[in-house]
Structure 1
Amino acid sequence: MLLLGIDIGTSSIKASVVDGTTGQIIASAQYPDTENTISTPQTGWAEQDPEMWWECVQQAVFRCHSSGKYNSKDIHAIGIAYQMHGLVMVDRDHRVLRPSIIWCDSRAVEIGNQAFKTIGEEKSLAHLLNSPGNFTASKLAWVKANEPRIYGSVYKIMLPGDFIAMKLTGTITTSNSALSEGIFWDFQTNAVSEDVMKTYGFSHNILPELRPLFSNHGEVTSSIADLLGLQAGTPVCYKAGDQPNNALSLNVLEPGEVAATAGTSGVVYSVSDQVSYDPLSRVNTFAHVNHQLNNQNRLGTLLCINGTGILNRWVRDNVATNMSYQQMNDAASQVQAGANGLFVLPFGNGAERVLGNKTIDATFTGINFNIHSSAHIIRASQEGIAFSLKYGVDIMASNGSSPKVIRAGKANMFLSNVFTEALVNAIGVAVELYDTDGAKGAALGAGIGQGFFSNPKDAFSNMKSIGLVEPTPHLVAQYAEVYAQWKAILDAQL
């Protein structure tokens, strides 16, 4: 059976066609070749056009088909992964009402903080496992307060993956995992939070129909099937945010298992069976893809650093202008750990939840014109990203989540030996690398939702590690010293 996975990333959209029997990718493509732009109408804002995502989805699927390696009519199920926390609003004709307010947008921080107080901090944490913070519900409240005419035209609100599923099927649905990432879900009542809906004055009618995550979320319409070369009636039977989906793609489904990714943002994601939370909401807990499957709790605690791959890209575009990413990594590897006293705080992509939703921007400290080159800036930036993740992992450890090993796809920042070495030795935990990504995970998720696999674990029976990076004692000691200097610079900013 062939399965199609679509990953709605911030920078690009990727599609993969996977053979469900072998677990192997038959064809894979992304679009565009360069990175999609993020619109910033005001400082701290971040928006993208949902119709741009849809156009990119079409082009990525066409590129897969053009490989000639399969018959597109043999695709039997579709799965979708997507950038989390984005707000998409449509009217009754399914027309987009405004650009999507995406995950790294900071405009709703104060609205969320006020809701936290109104609901009651203790009650909010006990029921939502988070502060409403800067998540989707708070972004919708911002629209309600500042763009009432647009809000009055809303038929349904969605997350980015729900929107792409709607374009494919004409059906608008959601899941408990999606509602939890938007901070609409009450984990005590296992239902939409009445406190959130009442505090923000939302009608339940604007939420999509709730369905199990692994289930039929609509079937491809005849017109879209003709457009994309698919069979009409092909089900979309899996939708998940990019980080729960990344964990799924790495077979991280059970308590104690941990996944990481380092694309535009950097994430460490730990699975637990305990309904718990960080008292300061610096790391956030959501329903994992298999939450309440077989009536078992499966929660994902997510540490997110906004300024990860986007910092590496900024360095390429503005400092290492004549280098590819591989050439940047090679140059950085010629510089010693610590970059000769150059330190970078990578917090230049909006409010950082790990810092209590503060926006402190990026900082380059210790530049010496007689010592430092572009290679030092590259290395210090990659180490700064690793150290920011170490900072968050320490917060997770204070809440009882201490990983013994971390699984990651060999992609994005994990293609850099400098970054991987810095991360492994800074946190003192080995990283297992796998040849997988979000599009492949979404395809396998579709196989689970369609019933091709009897349970989620069966989808990964052919998965094998392609590398293990372990801490080295002398590097652990060296990075501990460098990290202490980096953290002192961060502490002075807070």
Structure 2
Amino acid sequence: MKYLLGVDLGTSGTKTVLFDEHGQSIASKTIEYPLYQPKNGWAEQDPLDWYNAAIDSIKAVLAQSAIDPKDVAGLAIAGQMHGLVMLDKDGKVLRKSILWCDARTSKQCDEITNLVGKNRLIEINANPALSGFTAPKILWVRENEKEIYDQCATILLPKDYVRYMLTGVKAMEISDASGTNLLDIKKREWSGEILEKLAIDPALMPPLIESCAVAGTITAEAAKLTGLVEGTIVAGGAGDNAAAALGTGVCRDGQAFVTLGTSGVVFAHTSKVSIDPLGRVHTFCAAVPGTWTAMSCTLAAGLSLRWARDELYTAEHAQCQKDGTDAYDLMTKEAASVPSGSDGLIYLPYLMGERSPVLDAEARGVFFGLSARHKKAHLTRAVLEGITLSQRHNLEVLHQMDIVPETLTACGGGGRSPFWRQMLADVLKCKVTTIASKEGPALGAAILAAVAAKLYPNVESAVDALVKQGSDKAEPNCAEVERYNDIYTLYQSLYPTMRPAFHKLATLRNKLDGEKVEKYKSVFSVEFERFGKVIPAVDTDKVTKILEDLPCPKDAVTYVASEPKLETEDLMNDLQNRVFGGLKVQIGYCSGHNRKLNAIEYHRNCEVNITGTDALFMLAPITAIKDGIMDTQAVETFYCPKGTAVQFYETALHYAPCHSDDGEVFRVAVVLPKDTNTAKIENVDARGDAENGLVTANNKWLLAHKDSYEGKNHISTGILVGENITL
């Protein structure tokens, strides 16, 4: 009998499992190690802790099983991804590893996006720059610990470091390397373009190997420490989810697994590269040579249910612990007493922000539709449904990428619960199966070791032989599928609606916590997205220089609808064709002194403003107008730095800009469709609530405050009520 070792190197500990050649677990041992958090949001571990845990757990399972070490055919490691391990020229660790869950690198993510280009990065690496990935960590060390960076000779990932210590061979395995932001996913090689743009020496990146390839053999020193035989084969291994895919039988097109542990993952196999251009899910190289995977990650799946248990079922949980029962069983029983849809209650599972498919660290959990009729059972079912609807949201993205799994294998708590398993089938609209083994990543690693040791000719045949299907399964219920289709339609519309509010909440949280916050949000912020966007590549330097020579009163505002000095051929062609879609434009300017709202206007076509100074814009959505009246409480103020071109959508209302706190005047070029916003229209017919009751000039509505010049002179029938805002 031959045996295989699968090592699962996790964040809380390392679990080593000894399997026989048929995939049966013979012995296992888990060894935990500390997580270091020197600052809020930081997460580090000592790579030597991983190595020692691997050594000791391997030694323990060999002793526990009492097998002959000569019968161990091979070993492989499944590892936590993205962690940065830096070695000097002698192979010694230079600093603790910065982990996948470390949040210190948002600045470096922005740098990578700017240097490579957001779309270009996704084209090459299939993923946006994320704080969890490895490349931003490399840049952080270079910027903050240069003396360490200068000593670095090799960069490895967690499991690759442990494998190096066992074999003496430096290499990085392909599925894990996919999560560095440095790999050309399609070519399965390091991206020279990304490395060059980030100024990372390619010599720091070790050779790449496939997951089932022989990466090396156990050295004499490692053999002495573990009890293994020197020369025992060690395979490349895989990232934890890529290994878990094999351990759940996912290795061919049409196969996928969903796991509902602390986080929620939908992981699908594909024989072709498929990339989401919005970067909503990750595309990585698979542990099967020449294939790929698409993977989503919901950050607070099981975590949401645990929150509900700890906060809503405190007494019941304590009693269950005394009785030796599981509070989750009680919770699902209560949830089952409520019909699907939780009587109109929907839960968004964004307790920790979100990663897939809405990449937003500021998103937060929401109970939407809460009423006095809802009881604890409704909240519980809503939490279960919200977690599951989130997986549907991710699965829909995979469908858009032409990845359509026929069957989903359920793992984690969701797979073990019959109630939740049926909910998965109904919400995801596909058959849900299970597997017999509970050792997903470790079994996946053992499968790779078996192929490297030539016990099986390829990964697929090893999976077929070693992974056993479970007897539990669920088929979609047609009636429930229809109900969940309607529920999902509303669910997936909630995040886009609430996105600006989440970011306003983040600012409020910071302010309440005593942190310094900017007085005004920037036009580059999420809150600005519903009003307009920044237009790149406009020659703002040219516009700024021209504006400096045009009239600009210090105690009033001047507006010129069309200014020949600004209407140069190159500016006109660029803005007319690139921004206004060929519609002829005019370029004027609005400059002077203003710190009051006065009035607010709406243009039927979009408007572009180009700032020649720092400026402030006061804006509101057109939906704030009711019967020709709008309250100034709907108005928001945004800061726009000098040299920025901003497009205001036709659904946004705004007024003449104001100068910033430290300025005396503002200078702004105004771009509009030709021959609009010219003379005032006299004798407007304002019968009923017709739109033309607000019209004061071609293409424009105006709503005026009673205290403003426009209001006092009855220029518009549109009314602005509330405080006349002064900045």
TM-score with structure 2 setting the length: 0.61
Could you tell me how far apart the structure 2 residues matched to 1:249 and 1:363 are? 34
Identify which of 456, 462, 469 aligns with 1:465: 469
Could you tell me how far apart the structure 1 residues matched to 2:93 and 2:308 are? 34
User: What SS does structure 2 have at the residue aligned with 1:89?
Assistant: strand
1:479 counterpart = 2:484: yes
Provide closer, same or farther for how the CA distance between residues 397 and 106 of structure 1 changes in structure 2, counting only shifts above 3 A. farther
Residue by residue over 1:60-119, the C-alpha shift from the partner in whole angstroms, topping out at 9 and shown as x without a partner, is 435533533633443221011112222222334444333333223333344334423432
Provide closer, same or farther for how the CA distance between residues 63 and 490 of structure 1 changes in structure 2, counting only shifts above 3 A. farther
Q: CA deviation at 1:38?
A: 5.1
1:327 is aligned to: 327
Could you tell me how far apart the structure 2 residues matched to 1:197 and 1:178 are? 17
Q: CA deviation at 1:247?
A: 1.7
Q: CA deviation at 1:479?
A: 3.2
1:302 is aligned to: 295
Q: CA deviation at 1:327?
A: 2.8
Could you tell me how far apart the structure 2 residues matched to 1:413 and 1:442 are? 23
1:13 counterpart = 2:6: no
Where does the alignment leave 5 or more consecutive residues of structure 2 unmatched?
Answer: 500-727
Q: CA deviation at 1:16?
A: 1.4
User: What SS does structure 2 have at the residue aligned with 1:406?
Assistant: strand
Provide closer, same or farther for how the CA distance between residues 424 and 202 of structure 1 changes in structure 2, counting only shifts above 3 A. same
Structure 1 stretch 101-110 or stretch 201-210: which is displaced more?
Answer: 101-110
Provide closer, same or farther for how the CA distance between residues 271 and 167 of structure 1 changes in structure 2, counting only shifts above 3 A. same
Identity of aligned residues (%): 29
1:381 counterpart = 2:386: no
1:67 counterpart = 2:68: no
Residue by residue over 1:96-155, the C-alpha shift from the partner in whole angstroms, topping out at 9 and shown as x without a partner, is 333333223333344334423432344333322223333211221222222223322323
1:81 counterpart = 2:62: no
2:229 is aligned to: 231
Give 2:215's aligned amino acid: H
Identify which of 406, 409, 412 aligns with 1:407: 409
User: What SS does structure 1 have at the residue aligned with 2:28?
Assistant: strand
Contact 1:80 1:165 in 2 (8 A): yes
1:283 counterpart = 2:281: yes
Could you tell me how far apart the structure 1 residues matched to 2:11 and 2:145 are? 24
Contact 1:5 1:443 in 2 (8 A): yes
Q: Higher helix share goes to which structure?
A: 1
Could you tell me how far apart the structure 2 residues matched to 1:344 and 1:153 are? 49
Provide closer, same or farther for how the CA distance between residues 31 and 418 of structure 1 changes in structure 2, counting only shifts above 3 A. farther
Q: CA deviation at 1:14?
A: 2.1
Give 1:254's aligned amino acid: R
Identify which of 264, 267, 284 aligns with 2:265: 267
Provide closer, same or farther for how the CA distance between residues 346 and 201 of structure 1 changes in structure 2, counting only shifts above 3 A. same
Could you tell me how far apart the structure 1 residues matched to 2:204 and 2:141 are? 14
Q: CA deviation at 1:442?
A: 0.6
When the two chains are superposed, the root-mean-square deviation of aligned CA atoms in Å is: 2.9
Could you tell me how far apart the structure 2 residues matched to 1:455 and 1:164 are? 25
Contact 1:104 1:306 in 2 (8 A): no
Q: CA deviation at 1:4?
A: 0.1
Could you tell me how far apart the structure 2 residues matched to 1:223 and 1:304 are? 39
Contact 1:422 1:479 in 2 (8 A): no
Structure 1 stretch 281-290 or stretch 340-349: which is displaced more?
Answer: 340-349
Q: CA deviation at 1:235?
A: 2.1
1:168 counterpart = 2:166: yes
Identify which of 376, 395, 398 aligns with 2:400: 398
Q: CA deviation at 1:185?
A: 1.6
Could you tell me how far apart the structure 2 residues matched to 1:258 and 1:456 are? 16
User: What SS does structure 2 have at the residue aligned with 1:282?
Assistant: coil
1:30 is aligned to: 30
Give 2:424's aligned amino acid: L
Contact 2:410 2:432 in 1 (8 A): yes
Contact 2:430 2:475 in 1 (8 A): yes
Q: CA deviation at 1:241?
A: 0.7
Give 1:391's aligned amino acid: H
Could you tell me how far apart the structure 1 residues matched to 2:13 and 2:342 are? 31
Give 1:456's aligned amino acid: V
Give 1:428's aligned amino acid: K
Identify which of 444, 448, 453 aligns with 1:445: 448
Residue by residue over 1:239-268, the C-alpha shift from the partner in whole angstroms, topping out at 9 and shown as x without a partner, is 111121122223322333222323332211
Provide closer, same or farther for how the CA distance between residues 59 and 261 of structure 1 changes in structure 2, counting only shifts above 3 A. farther
Contact 2:267 2:294 in 1 (8 A): yes
Contact 1:352 1:359 in 2 (8 A): no
Provide closer, same or farther for how the CA distance between residues 78 and 230 of structure 1 changes in structure 2, counting only shifts above 3 A. same
Identify which of 94, 97, 100 aligns with 1:100: 97
1:295 is aligned to: none
Structure 1 stretch 48-57 or stretch 274-283: which is displaced more?
Answer: 48-57
Residue by residue over 1:412-450, the C-alpha shift from the partner in whole angstroms, topping out at 9 and shown as x without a partner, is 442233432332211111112112311111111111122
Provide closer, same or farther for how the CA distance between residues 148 and 56 of structure 1 changes in structure 2, counting only shifts above 3 A. same
Could you tell me how far apart the structure 1 residues matched to 2:189 and 2:170 are? 18
2:242 is aligned to: 244
Give 1:24's aligned amino acid: Q
Give 1:303's aligned amino acid: S
Where relative contact order (Cα < 8 A, 6+ residues apart) is larger, the structure is 1
Residue by residue over 1:252-304, the C-alpha shift from the partner in whole angstroms, topping out at 9 and shown as x without a partner, is 22333222323332211222233331111011211111233xxxxx1211112
Contact 1:6 1:57 in 2 (8 A): yes
Give 1:166's aligned amino acid: Y
Could you tell me how far apart the structure 2 residues matched to 1:166 and 1:446 are? 16
Give 2:478's aligned amino acid: P
Q: Higher strand share goes to which structure?
A: 2
